Structure 1
Amino acid sequence: MALDADSETLEDLLALLPARRRVLSWVRHGEGLVGWGTAAEIRTSGPERFAHAAKWFEELVAVSTVTDPVGEPGTGLVGFGSFAFADLPGFSVLKVPSVVVGKRGDVAWVTTVGPAAAPPPALAPAPEPEAPRDVVFADAYVDGEHWMRIVADAVSRLQDGDLDKVVLARDLLAAASAPIDIRSVLRRLAAAYPTCWTFHVDDLFGATPELLVRRERGLVTSRVLAGTIWPTGEEDFDHALASSLAESSKNLEEHEYAARSVADALEPHCSSMNVPEAPFVLKLPNVMHLATDITGVASDGVSSLDLAAALHPSAAVGGTPREDAVALIAEIESMERARYAGPVGWMDASGDGEWGIALRSAELIDDRTARLFAGCGIVAGSDPATELAETQAKFVPIRDALS
């Protein structure tokens, strides 16, 4: 059902989320999708996790009766998904909520899903959720010194020519004195990082700056981020930092690997493509990245989830060559990534959708405990102490949202 996009009720989609843990969100610049309730879901794992989820959703669409007068990407039947980084271990989930509220530009809508036609719910902003209290952070699988030794090991292998790039991650644990209301965390992330996609799917949450792939009426877009520097808040100095990032051989090398891996993965699924010759500098509140937007036209029958499966894991989260990098991660990283750095997002019945990479993210382990993730690309010229500092900077969005 269409809604008035200018209504004050829809000014903040995240404010509509009811007081329950299993809510869903995919919001950027105040637009996107939120949902709650569960009409249907699949949990899957292993190397065929994407195919299993895609087949399940296709079969669900085939037996569903859909009334969709709005006819925009994200209307009608929609599934929110989050997929494991590795084939094993870890689970993946694709979930169809019983209520979805969406907004894009001057169009807004509410969708209800169930065994029988149901009137749309009354929409109103919920009371302000309570912020997390007395949060204490601690190293999880390995501490900083241990992690720098892991990075040094990887650099040695890279210098020996075993591979070109590997992405290594680490984690922190956050413990609160009272149950964490995820709605408060999501609102904080969306306010602080409006240019990122604020997401929550089955206890995995974050604000990712990296769009793995978007399919909208056949047009495919993928944003690649690789190469990082930290702003100071001083405009003139930060302008110089941005210039140095754009000229850094180490960061340009890392970015080139990532962009090429995305282009190579998309090419078999697109009838045409455009890959810019040089990246631009994307400025976020606490970090600057080299970025490239790759575009194309999807081949017939290729859904957004198919494209996400083809792209994962890109060099931005795995490395190059892909198989060798993923094998090295499994050997030396010393932690289970679960759904960190896996695809997260949504898909509708037409195959349109948006899938980001679950970066700047964390997972609720229980009501009071979250596990935070951060990683960085390692190449032959990487310095372990610098890479450790980069992970600390990448923890900041979630730490601030929880603190």
Structure 2
Amino acid sequence: MIETTSYYHEKLYKALSNRKHIEKPQLVSVTTKLDSVDSLGFFQAGKVYQGERVYWTSADTTFTLVGVGSAYTFEADRNRFFSTRQMWNDLLGDAVVLNPYEIPGTGPVALGGFSFDPLKEGDGTWEDFPNSKVFIPMYLLTEWGEDTYLTLNLMIHPNDNEEELYNIVTKEYQNLISGRYKEEERVEVTGQEEILPAEFKQIVSKATDHIKTDQIGKVVLAREMVVSFSDDRKAASVVRKLKEEQTQSYIFAFESGDSCFVGATPERLVKVENNELLSTCLAGTVPRGKTPSEDEALGEALLNDEKNLQEHDFVVQMIKEAVTGCCENVHVPDAPVLYPLRNLQHLYTPVSGTLKDGVSLLDVVERLHPTPALGGYPREDSLQFIREYEPFHRGWYASPVGWFDSYQNGEFAVAIRSALLKKDEAVLFSGCGVVEDSDPEEEYQETAVKFLPMIHALGGKE
């Protein structure tokens, strides 16, 4: 049943008035069901909270989360996953939650991400994004299938005036849910530069030397591109473009400070719903064909390519091992299938299981990250190679980004096919898996293809 505005206002007011009177800040969370809302309009209307907005659309369901404002933010440098989980549980312990629906992604929900490697020294590019940052939005829009929900999450302090808070938030959320997406002023691309392409090929060659001498089994290397604009590039218009063009991908935009990390990734890290876990092995890549017959031939070649099959199997075995440690009834198919996207097609293997008692989604994320598809194998040796030879800081690129709720549901994707928007420029990222017989020129060309989704969304030249 869709609640009337007056009924929701009454429920919100009661929640604020009946909160526990304790001598520390307390979370009050109230959820209602709405008629349909323009999710991009909601995101745009929240620009007063610039730096505290998030947009997330899942790849395989009609599921969208839009968060505006921060009720509470968790940050941690050391023991990132454990510390975040502990802070989350502590906050929920005293929370007042009114949510009769208990739909995944409603009520108290945390959204955010973690850096790829907290031990890599920063270079300033990611100054707005700490090693871990998740936040509970003040205003959370949830689209689940045909239904739409709004959750207000408020941190109430002992001396706060409930009447004043009520008046502020009821006015703000009405403005948000009535927002309609408006096409933003056109921003022209003024420059597009690949960063250190020759050096990238040299590092690929160095990596194959290490692999041939058994120092590592596989390493994933990445490179950067910088696109410049005539004015500040707005996140909402980039998200709209990605939603139109990358319909089988997770679309995300995480704002922090003056920057926004945006992308369209096809790669799920892990999803948990009703205690059932699903992880995804996505490694091995070829372009799409220009004709159906060429497309089929490229896909068939990928399914039989020894280099790509080897790269894919590294990922499958590691994810299977990690999932087996925290799940029962683990299932892994015998062979990969093709996963076609607009520009690329990949080898794909799902891994599923039932979560063991006492294991949380963040526990699984910690076990899985980084998979061999994003770091390499063995994990520590490949990470050390990346730290030593990759000439930039990945920040949140190739890292876990996603959400989790108070009902033990959640999902994290791997933040590839992405860009960091920094006012009038964007830094794009693209990577490839290097194994013993990798060719530097071919790996360079593979990363060039993987840049295409973001280049197109930003209006650059392919």
TM range (shorter): over 0.9
Write the distance in 2 (CA, Å) between the matches of 1:62 and 1:201.
27
Classify 1:77/1:361 alpha carbon distance in 2 versus 1 (closer, same or farther; 3 Å).
Answer: same
Q: Could you tell me whether the CA contact under 8 Å between 2:73 and 2:135 is conserved in 1?
A: yes
**What's 1:212 paired with?**
269
Classify 1:371/1:275 alpha carbon distance in 2 versus 1 (closer, same or farther; 3 Å).
Answer: same
**What's 1:239 paired with?**
296
Matches within 5 A, 1:217-236: 217-236=274-293
Write the distance in 2 (CA, Å) between the matches of 1:168 and 1:14.
34
User: How far off its partner does 1:135 sit?
Assistant: 4.1
Match of 1:335 among 392, 395, 399: 392
Classify 1:173/1:275 alpha carbon distance in 2 versus 1 (closer, same or farther; 3 Å).
Answer: same
Cα deviation digits, residues 337-381 of structure 1 (max 9, x gap): 1111110000101221010001011112x3112211110100001
Residue identity matched to 2:187: P
**What's 2:212 paired with?**
159
User: How far off its partner does 1:14 sit?
Assistant: 2.5
Q: Secondary structure at the match of 2:192?
A: strand
Match of 2:202 among 149, 162, 166: 149
**What's 2:227 paired with?**
174
Residue identity matched to 1:196: S
Match of 1:32 among 60, 64, 75: 64
Residue identity matched to 1:276: P
Percent of aligned positions that are identical? 33
Q: Could you tell me whether the CA contact under 8 Å between 2:220 and 2:433 is conserved in 1?
A: yes
Write the distance in 2 (CA, Å) between the matches of 1:282 and 1:169.
22
Residue identity matched to 1:279: P
Cα deviation digits, residues 187-232 of structure 1 (max 9, x gap): 1111110110101123211011000000101000011110000012
**What's 1:355 paired with?**
412
**What's 2:319 paired with?**
262
Q: Secondary structure at the match of 1:212?
A: strand
Write the distance in 1 (CA, Å) between the matches of 2:91 and 2:184.
34
1:369 is the counterpart of 2:458: no
| TM-score under structure 1 length normalisation | 0.94
Write the distance in 1 (CA, Å) between the matches of 2:65 and 2:193.
33
Cα deviation digits, residues 226-261 of structure 1 (max 9, x gap): 000001231111011111111111110000001111
Q: Secondary structure at the match of 1:98?
A: strand
Match of 1:113 among 153, 169, 175: 153
Write the distance in 1 (CA, Å) between the matches of 2:41 and 2:438.
42
Match of 2:141 among 101, 117, 122: 101
Write the distance in 2 (CA, Å) between the matches of 1:204 and 1:45.
19
Q: Secondary structure at the match of 1:66?
A: strand
Write the distance in 1 (CA, Å) between the matches of 2:185 and 2:62.
21
Cα deviation digits, residues 5-47 of structure 1 (max 9, x gap): 6x3x35xx2332125243201113653211111111122224x
**What's 1:395 paired with?**
451
Q: Could you tell me whether the CA contact under 8 Å between 2:189 and 2:227 is conserved in 1?
A: no
- When structure 1 is superposed on structure 2, of 57-66 and 312-321 the one drifting more is 57-66
Runs (5+) with no aligned partner, structure 2: 1-30, 122-129, 157-161
**What's 1:133 paired with?**
188
1:55 is the counterpart of 2:86: yes
| TM-score under structure 2 length normalisation | 0.82
Classify 1:387/1:219 alpha carbon distance in 2 versus 1 (closer, same or farther; 3 Å).
Answer: same
Runs (5+) with no aligned partner, structure 1: none
Write the distance in 2 (CA, Å) between the matches of 1:288 and 1:132.
31
User: How far off its partner does 1:134 sit?
Assistant: 2.4
| Residue-pair matches, total | 395
Write the distance in 2 (CA, Å) between the matches of 1:393 and 1:353.
31
Match of 1:16 among 23, 42, 49: 42
- When structure 1 is superposed on structure 2, of 199-208 and 312-321 the one drifting more is 199-208
Residue identity matched to 1:128: E
User: How far off its partner does 1:131 sit?
Assistant: 4.3
1:300 is the counterpart of 2:357: yes
Cα deviation digits, residues 244-284 of structure 1 (max 9, x gap): 11111111000000111111111111122101111110000
Write the distance in 2 (CA, Å) between the matches of 1:97 and 1:60.
14
Q: Could you tell me whether the CA contact under 8 Å between 1:198 and 1:207 is conserved in 2?
A: yes
- When structure 1 is superposed on structure 2, of 336-345 and 18-27 the one drifting more is 18-27
